[in-house]
Amino acid sequence: MAGCENEVLKPEPADTDYYPLQVGSYRVYRVEVKNYSNNVVTTSTLQRRERVVDTYTNVSGALTYRLIRSVRPNATAAWQDDSVMTLTVKPTTVELSSNNRRTVELVFPAKNDVQWNRDVYNDRDTVIAKTRQYQAVGAAYTIGGQSYNRTITTVDPSPDTIFYRRSQRQIFAQGVGPVYREKRVLNYCQGTPGQNCQIGSGYVVIGEERRETLIEYKP
């Protein structure tokens, strides 16, 4: 985390408001999923809710929020609790713990092209890796008929190859939090014996694309 600390010296007070958290608040997302299998796409939709249920102080003395994730197939169905995650807010970072993995979601101050290692607390990358960066800091953004005056975007830069595509993007609106997320994990034809496809043709052997758009927010 040393490299991250060298870049992040003192947060601007407004920056922490890009992920506001309060017990009783929640966010509901429309989730669109495309699953690929041998270049055949199956599309599905669902709704997901992230609800802040309580707080506690972790072993390092930082305030931590516990969120319950719930899912339902549509707006008329009952919510079913799915998983639990925690968000720890520090003066220079917001850290997410989910599925036994801890990541650095945001660093402060937010500035264009600032890079950091989202996986510094796990074994996904080396400590010095730069796996997330800011773009469009302070830009207005409109999605799903909703406009936000000031946002920040994080992207996980990963070069595409003829065999793989990995990308992730999140948009946070000031005073609201995450309003859009997208993730792509695509494995293209690799010429494996038995595969009826051509390398470099864009044929997806297996993969998933997921987009989450905020549709309801209670502060």
pLDDT-derived band at 67 (thresholds 50, 70, 90) equals very high
Q: What is the mean pLDDT of residues 109-113?
A: 94
One DSSP character per residue, 200-214 reads TS--EEEEEEEEEEE
Average pLDDT, the chain: 91
What pLDDT is stored for residue 91 in this prediction?
86
What pLDDT is stored for residue 127 in this prediction?
65
What pLDDT is stored for residue 130 in this prediction?
85
Contact 131, 118 (CB under 8 A): yes
Contacts by 110-116, CB closer than 8 A, 24 or more apart: 110/12, 110/15, 110/18, 110/134, 110/137, 110/152, 111/137, 112/136, 112/137, 114/7, 114/8, 115/7, 116/3, 116/4, 116/7, 116/8
* The two structure tokens encoding residue 177: 């939090």
User: How many domains are contained in the chain?
Assistant: 1
Parent domain of 107: 2-218
Higher pLDDT, 29 or 128: 29
* The two structure tokens encoding residue 148: 């936000």
Q: What is the mean pLDDT of residues 186-211?
A: 93
What pLDDT is stored for residue 193 in this prediction?
86
Dist CA 165 CA 142 (whole Å): 26
From the list 211, 188, 213, 214, the residue with the least C-alpha distance to 201 is 188
- Span 69-104, pLDDT tens digits: 999 999 999 999 999 999 998 889 999 999 989 999
Contact 100, 4 (CB under 8 A): no
Q: What is the mean pLDDT of residues 151-157?
A: 94
- Span 10-64, pLDDT tens digits: 444 457 799 999 999 999 999 999 999 999 999 999 999 999 999 999 998 999 9
* The two structure tokens encoding residue 23: 């017990």
What pLDDT is stored for residue 181 in this prediction?
98
pLDDT-derived band at 129 (thresholds 50, 70, 90) equals confident
The percentage of the chain sitting over the pLDDT mark of 90, rounded to a whole number, equals 80
What pLDDT is stored for residue 14 in this prediction?
55
What pLDDT is stored for residue 8 in this prediction?
46
pLDDT-derived band at 146 (thresholds 50, 70, 90) equals very high
Residues 6+ apart with CB under 8 A from 2: 127
Q: What CATH number did the domain enclosing 101 receive? A: 2.40.360
Q: Position of tokens 């595969």?
A: 195
pLDDT over 70 (residue 206): yes
Residues 6+ apart with CB under 8 A from 30: 45, 47, 144, 212, 213, 215
Q: How many residues does the chain have?
A: 219
From the list 128, 120, 84, the residue with the least C-alpha distance to 103 is 120
